[in-house]
Amino acid sequence: MKYRTLGNTGIKVSEIAFGAEWYVERPYEEVEEIVRHCENNGINFLDCWMSEPTVRTNLGKAIKDTRDKWVIQGHIGATWQNNQYVRTREMDKVKEAFEDFMERFQMDTLDFGMVHYVDELKDYDEIMSGEFIEYVRQLKEKGIIKHIGLSTHNTDIALLAAENPEIELLMFSINPAYDMFPPTEVIEDYSDDDKYTDLAGLDPRRAELYQLCEDNGMPITVMKGYASGRLFNDNDSPFGVALTPIQCIHYALEQKGVASIFVGVNNVEELDAAIEYETAEESQKEYKDILANAPKHSFEGKCMYCGHCAPCTAGIDIGGLIKLYDLAVIHDEVPQSVQEHYNNLTYDATECIACGECEDRCPFNVKIVDIMLDAQDLLN
């Protein structure tokens, strides 16, 4: 198992982590089995957002004697009401649920207290200016949580969080399908086939997010890396072609800023399919040709900033330059930060000699020379 550091916290976690949501209403013996299997294979990172009491109790019991081996994300705002999960900002219920979480996990200190599931700008603003964040701050001041994190599926919220010095970890949904989406406040959009019309390539705002997290030392932990399993089936995949767990994991871990991916598994066998990533051949990880030639919603012609075009004869960082160009063209005016990044490039678009060698190597058949000419017009 390989390990990565969570940004500026200094905490090292396994790059493949255990997402425990599928262990609700499962007998303790099955929970203990998966926990021991994680430990035996070097997995030391656990996320539990589910507020269902039994899963909290079972997980707490399973890790009680090995708590010092685990780094844990626990969510604040995920409650259990009338025998069902409810996300809430009602503080009496928020506090009761979090205290229940700590009691059932049998611990005094939580590594990351996650502000749970913030997908609307209004919700983010109210949290960050009200008693919710005050409660979270108090938990940190008392040492009950060591670090503050936030989970979201909305790129706009994630960008705000990445610039918020109070937030030390971002949990975000990343996979090739979701990465095509512009920011949305409606999580159901991601599973609506009709919403994938006219989408192609990595949305520039997501590229901006990943770069910002890398620059700011904001670690990303990945959820929905398998798109809830849709990517494993030709018929369910929005691309019309299936990917493997290894390819999905590789896609997520290749993104800038990403530290770890939480895999949701039902059993030891599914966990082993994820762990196989650690010993997989490069050919098993390769997903780019599949996405470039997918029968639906292909990434054909769209730069994925993957670096296959390198090395450039003229020394240009092609992927980095195209990313800046993509970020510039989505705005009415070129953002100052983008222009400054471009101005600081060692070799800019004017250095392109149009040799075309990069285009021969690009798996997505991007018209790189044309983009270089457009970038000259816009940014020079």
What is the secondary structure of 279-336 as a DSSP string? G--HHHH--HHHHHT-SSS--TTS----STTPSPTT---HHHHHHHHHHHHTSSS--H
Is residue 187 within 8 A of residue 239, CB to CB? The reply is no
pLDDT confidence of 98, banded at 50, 70, 90? very high
Check whether residue 240 and residue 97 sit in a common domain. Answer: yes
> How many C-beta atoms lie closer than 10 Å to residue 45's C-beta?
28
Cα(103)–Cα(9) distance, integer angstroms: 25
Distance of CA 344 to the CA centre of its chain: 28
Name the percent of the chain lying above pLDDT 70: 98
Same domain, 35 and 150: yes
* DSSP H/E element including 54: helix 53-63
Q: Any idea which residue has 């600081």 for tokens?
A: 344
Q: Which of 199, 214, 201 is nearest to 371 (CA)?
A: 201
Alpha-carbon distance of 130 to 123, in angstroms, equals 10
Q: Does 200 score more than 80 pLDDT?
A: no
Same domain for 347 and 243: no
Does some domain include residue 301? no
Q: Which residues contact 107 (CB under 8 A, 6 or more apart)?
A: 60, 67, 72
This prediction has a pTM of 0.85
Residue 204 binned pLDDT confidence (cut-offs 50, 70, 90): confident
Whether residue 322 sits in one domain with residue 254: no
- Which two tokens mark 134? 């005050």
Q: What is the DSSP string of 115-139?
A: EP----HHHHHHHHHSHHHHHHHHH
Q: Locate tokens 């949290």: which residue? A: 127
Residue pair 75/97 in contact by the 8 Å Cβ criterion: no
H or E stretch at 112: strand 110-115
pLDDT of 194 higher than 90: no
Residue 120 pLDDT exceeds 80:
yes
Report the alpha-carbon distance of residue 286 to residue 274 in Å, rounded: 15
Max mean pLDDT range (16-25, 78-87, 273-282): 273-282
Sign, CA torsion 172/178/184/187: negative
Residue-wise pLDDT for 130-187, tens only, equals 999 999 999 999 999 999 999 999 999 999 999 999 999 999 999 998 998 888 888 8
User: How confident is the prediction for the chain on average, in pLDDT?
Assistant: 92
Of 290 and 317, the structure prediction assigns the larger pLDDT to 317
Q: Does residue 202 sit in the same domain as residue 350?
A: no
**Are 258 and 327 members of one domain?**
no
Question: In terms of domains, do 52 and 150 share one?
Answer: yes
**What is the CB-side half-sphere exposure of residue 325 using CA atoms within 13 A?**
25
The answer to whether the CB of 146 falls within 8 A of the CB of 109 is yes
Q: How far is CA 220 from the centre of its chain?
A: 5
User: What is the structure's pLDDT at 298?
Assistant: 59
Predicted confidence at residue 297, as pLDDT, reads 66
240 pLDDT higher than 90: no
Say how far apart CA 151 and CA 161 lie, in whole Å: 9
- Structural domain of 104: 3-292
- Determine, yes or no, domain membership for 90: yes
Whether residue 43 is found in the same domain as residue 177:
yes
Structure tokens at 68: 């010092």
Same domain? 46 vs 188: yes
Q: Is residue 310 part of a domain?
A: no
Q: Count how many domains the chain has.
A: 2
* CATH classification of the domain holding 110: 3.20.20.100
For tokens 């900033």, name the residue.
305
* Residue 297 amino acid letter: H
Q: Average of pLDDT values for 93-98?
A: 97
Range scoring the smallest mean pLDDT among 66-70, 200-204, 212-216, 217-221: 200-204
What are phi and psi for residue 170, nearest 5 degrees? -120, 125
